Structure 1
Amino acid sequence: MAARERCMTNFKRLATPRYGKVPSDAAAVLVPVCNVGEKPSILYTVRATNLRTNNGEVSFPGGPIPQNESPIQTAVRETFQEIGLRPDKIDVWGHGPPLPGRNNKIMITPVVGSIDTLAPEDLNINVGEVAEVFTVPIELLCEPKNQYYTQFSNGFVLPVFVVEEYKIWGITAFITHAFLNSVLTNDVYKNEWTKKKIVIDNQ
């Protein structure tokens, strides 16, 4: 419990990257922390290729926030709609500050939630929205060989994680970094972006 409280205290103090005017549109995503084979892991989705935006990219489950919902309600509901993970399986820790999404078109609130033990039968993937669900052990995200960064044409720099065939980049990578930086000590998670190999994004 103490680690959880320390994590969320740090996460809520997250320095929000800013550029340009703050967009009015809002969304929320869930950062699903789970145990897979007794290894603490983070769950990600691969967006379906038929989607109009960010298709085929790695992301967290989530979506736009309606006027009648909180970021937590949206993140939990969208997670159920996208991958079938029931709300009663998710222990919500809280959320961080809104962060600017790609091209600064939307503000995204990251919600942290834990799943005690994730089993295949807990998931029911909506193939219209999600092409794949996968998990990455946190220990792999902490390995320097899997850490990179990308610099955009406007000079904006964000971390990147490359684990096996999966490239985690953009706001998803930044939220991943922020969570790891909040929950782990500096001797466990070290990520010095400027000393890493650049992964150029051509999109």
Structure 2
Amino acid sequence: MARISFGIQNIFSLAARERCMTNFKRLATPRYGKLPSDAAAMLVPVCKVGDKPSILYTVRATNLRTIKGEISFPGGPIVQDESPVQTALRETYKEIGLSPEKIDVWGHGPPLPGRNNKILITPVIGSIEGLAQDDLTINSREVAEVFTIPIEMLCEPKNQYYTQFSNGFILPVFVIEDYKIWGITAFITHSFLSSVLTSDVYKNEWMKKKIEIEKS
């Protein structure tokens, strides 16, 4: 039987969505000792800009207390009685004004440890097929910039790097023009791409390097 290739242009199809969530829910999560008690959720906004399937990111405001000025997904702490999906949608609307009615929620993956293992972050995937500038109202107290990157650029090996931490743990990094996506945001980006696309489309160059280093 011929192997089916899941490409970028059919990323919004039902088959691609089902493939993505099946793989995403099986995501192998890194662990660092005792699990943190604090919890948060992030939205991975998969959108179509013009005719290009893309991913939306934010740049955090420089006045924030933590990870200021860095690239992130919309999101924030889970409050009492909220689900990760409810939190992701609420925080997205609060940060960039994108209405929940515009977002088609696919589902969410397992919680992942954030920076320094201080919080568990649940990634929620949602699509906005026709994103327009008028759909966004940026909250400048929390967000300095909103931008999108075409998925085809994230799949190009020349834009893929990695970083190795002092404990030996390796994470992907994407560098596209003036934007450097790293940390938990890069890991979630990689996890989404490898869940929805086949390896002939998204080749996971940084993962090959990870395996080479671990064998050396």
Q: Which residue of 2 aligns with 1:9?
A: 22
Provide the rounded CA distance (Å) in 2 between the counterparts of 1:144 and 1:69.
38
Q: Secondary structure at the match of 1:135?
A: strand
Q: Which residue of 1 aligns with 2:75?
A: 62
Provide the rounded CA distance (Å) in 1 between the counterparts of 2:70 and 2:32.
23
Instruction: After TM superposition, give the deviation of residue 22 of structure 1 in Å.
Output: 0.8
- Which structure 1 residue ranges, 4+ long, deviate > 6 Å from structure 2? none
Is residue 182 from structure 1 mapped to residue 195 from structure 2 by the alignment?
A: yes
Equivalences for residues 32-47 of structure 1 within 5 A: 32-47=45-60
Aligned-pair identity (%): 83
Q: Which residue of 2 aligns with 1:200?
A: none
Q: Which residue of 2 aligns with 1:147?
A: 160
Any unmatched runs of 5+ in structure 2? 1-13, 211-216
Is residue 50 from structure 1 mapped to residue 43 from structure 2 by the alignment?
A: no
Q: Which residue of 2 aligns with 1:201?
A: none
Provide the rounded CA distance (Å) in 2 between the counterparts of 1:27 and 1:91.
20
Equivalences for residues 1-203 of structure 1 within 5 A: 1-193=14-206
| TM-score (ref. length: structure 1) | 0.95
Provide the rounded CA distance (Å) in 1 between the counterparts of 2:191 and 2:97.
26
Deviations 1:85-135 (A, max 9, x none): 000000000000000000000000000000011100000000000000000
Instruction: After TM superposition, give the deviation of residue 189 of structure 1 in Å.
Output: 0.2
Instruction: After TM superposition, give the deviation of residue 67 of structure 1 in Å.
Output: 1.4
Given that residues 148 and 196 in structure 1 are in contact (C-alpha distance below 8 angstroms), is that contact kept between their aligned partners in structure 2?
no
Q: Secondary structure at the match of 1:92?
A: strand
Provide the rounded CA distance (Å) in 2 between the counterparts of 1:24 and 1:195.
33
Code of the aligned partner of 2:119 = I
Instruction: After TM superposition, give the deviation of residue 192 of structure 1 in Å.
Output: 2.8
Code of the aligned partner of 1:101 = G
Any unmatched runs of 5+ in structure 1? 198-203
Code of the aligned partner of 2:128 = I
Provide the rounded CA distance (Å) in 2 between the counterparts of 1:111 and 1:99.
12
Deviations 1:28-87 (A, max 9, x none): 000000000110000000000000000000000000001110000000000000000000
Provide the rounded CA distance (Å) in 2 between the counterparts of 1:138 and 1:14.
20
Q: Secondary structure at the match of 2:90?
A: helix
Instruction: After TM superposition, give the deviation of residue 152 of structure 1 in Å.
Output: 1.1
Q: Secondary structure at the match of 2:56?
A: strand
| TM-score (ref. length: structure 2) | 0.89
